[in-house]
Amino acid sequence: MDRRSWVLLYILAGVWGASYLLIKIGLDDFSPVWVAFGRSLMAALVLLPFALYQGALRGLGVRWRAIAVLAFVQAVIPFTLISWGEKEVPTALTGILIASAPLYTAVLAIWVDHEERVRGLRLVGLMIGIVGVVALVGLDLSGSGAALLGAIAILVASVAYAAGGLILKHHLPGPSPVGVVTAIMVAAAIMLAPLAALTAPDQTPGAGPIAAIATLGLLGTGIAFVLFYGLIHKVGPGKALIVSYLAPGFAVIYGALLLDEAITAGTLIGLALILAGSWLAAEGGIRRRRAPGATPPEADVPIGGIAAAEAAATAAANR
64-105 pLDDT, tens digit per residue, is: 888 999 999 989 999 999 999 999 888 888 888 887 777 777
pTM: 0.77
| Closest C-alpha among 214, 244, 37, 20 to residue 126 | 244
27: three-class secondary structure by DSSP: coil
Q: How many domains does the chain have?
A: 1
Distance of CA 247 to the CA centre of its chain: 9
Residue 181: CA atoms inside 13 Å, Cβ hemisphere, count? 31
Assess whether pLDDT exceeds 90 at residue 270.
no
Assess whether pLDDT exceeds 50 at residue 262.
yes
Q: Tell me if 225 is assigned to some domain.
A: yes
Q: Tell me if 318 is assigned to some domain.
A: no
Q: Tell me if 156 is assigned to some domain.
A: yes
Q: Are 163 and 108 in contact (CB under 8 A)?
A: yes
Would you place residue 311 in the very low, low, confident or very high pLDDT band (cuts 50, 70, 90)?
Answer: very low
Assess whether pLDDT exceeds 80 at residue 316.
no
Domain that holds residue 238: 3-288+296-312
Q: Tell me if 317 is assigned to some domain.
A: no
Kindly report the number of other CB atoms within 10 A of residue 287's CB atom: 8
Q: Tell me if 173 is assigned to some domain.
A: yes
pLDDT digits (tens, 9 = 90+) for 206-216: 999 999 999 99
Q: Tell me if 275 is assigned to some domain.
A: yes
Would you place residue 267 in the very low, low, confident or very high pLDDT band (cuts 50, 70, 90)?
Answer: confident
Q: Tell me if 153 is assigned to some domain.
A: yes
Would you place residue 113 in the very low, low, confident or very high pLDDT band (cuts 50, 70, 90)?
Answer: low
Q: Tell me if 41 is assigned to some domain.
A: yes
**What pLDDT score was predicted for residue 175?**
64
Q: Is the dihedral of CA 122, 127, 128, 132 positive or negative?
A: positive
Cα 43 to Cα 109, 188, 204, 313, distances in angstroms: 30, 10, 22, 28
